[in-house]
Amino acid sequence: MTTVECILPRTILGEGPHWDHTEQALYFVDIKASEVHRYTPATKKETVVKIEGGPVSIVIPVQGQKNKYVITIGRDIAIMTWDGVSSSPSHVERVATVDEVDGKRENRLNDGKADPTGRLWAGTLGAEHGPVDFTPHNGSLFSLSKDRKVTSHVTGVTCSNGLAWSLDNKIMYYIDSLTLKVEAFDFNAEKGQAINRRTAFDFKANGVKGFPDGMTIDTQGNLWVACFDGSQVINVDPRTGKLLKTISIPSPKVTSVVFGGKNLDELYVTSASVDLNKEELAATPSAGCTFRILGTGAKGFPGQSVVL
């Protein structure tokens, strides 16, 4: 039996969940509040750190470096030093900036993830004009190598979002939300190359409500995709393009998902309350909450840290 429970209170724009299997802790961000959150299920303790300088969209530990995390601040990629307890970081070092050209300075970084080699991938979205309204085709998908060099891989992106890699690491799955598709690329992990773009799952063709947002992959090679403005998480087979399962979430703006827990069989789900009016917030008290889903019948993988 599948159960959905709210485990953490409302955020404005909860996003980017990362499960640290060694710590048995969930990290995620509130983009609009410029916050990084850390939650330990065993103790039910949550700590929050405020980041100055702009919206924060990802938090990923740096491999082998205690209290070091890769975060984004606006268009900047940075390394944050944080003890996991304090309300402000002890140090933030900006290491790269993307979209440094006229016409793209109002962009910001959005979703990101480390690939199987520890290389960071993160993309931008166009200037925000309203709910799911961005300057079209103005963003890109980038990678950051160990020597801190930024490479652009996909251009013409409107809202860069979820990332995942196939079990054999030969396919990268990617979401540009406004296309209403999960797409696939042939992936070369050693070279950090993604080519041969194609559709893996089509929201319209399958009658799925909402926009594809963040996603994760399970040990069977199936994807779990958050549906923004869809009040649900869907489970799809990207090899066949088939919808396998739908799980309703009591929050309209579901943003991302990650497997966690001791057995990596608990699905943690972030959501948002952004752009909801007073009446909508009153009608959906769980909007913006972070959820835990039990009984999906699936398991995931430990979160991949960034190698820098």
The residues carrying an active-site annotation are 213
- Name the β-bridge partners of 242: 237
Look-up of token digits 């080519």: 195
Q: Which residues contact 278 (CB under 8 A, 6 or more apart)?
A: none
Most distant CA pair in the chain: distance in Å? 52
One-letter amino acid identity for 190? E
Alpha-helix runs per DSSP H in the chain: 278-283
Cβ-based neighbours of 113, under 8 Å, separated by 6 or more: 58, 60, 120, 121, 122, 163, 164, 304
Contact 22, 40 (CB under 8 A): no
**β-strands 108-114, 120-125: how paired?**
antiparallel
SS3 161: strand
Would you state the structure tokens that stand for residue 257, as one six-digit string? 């998902």
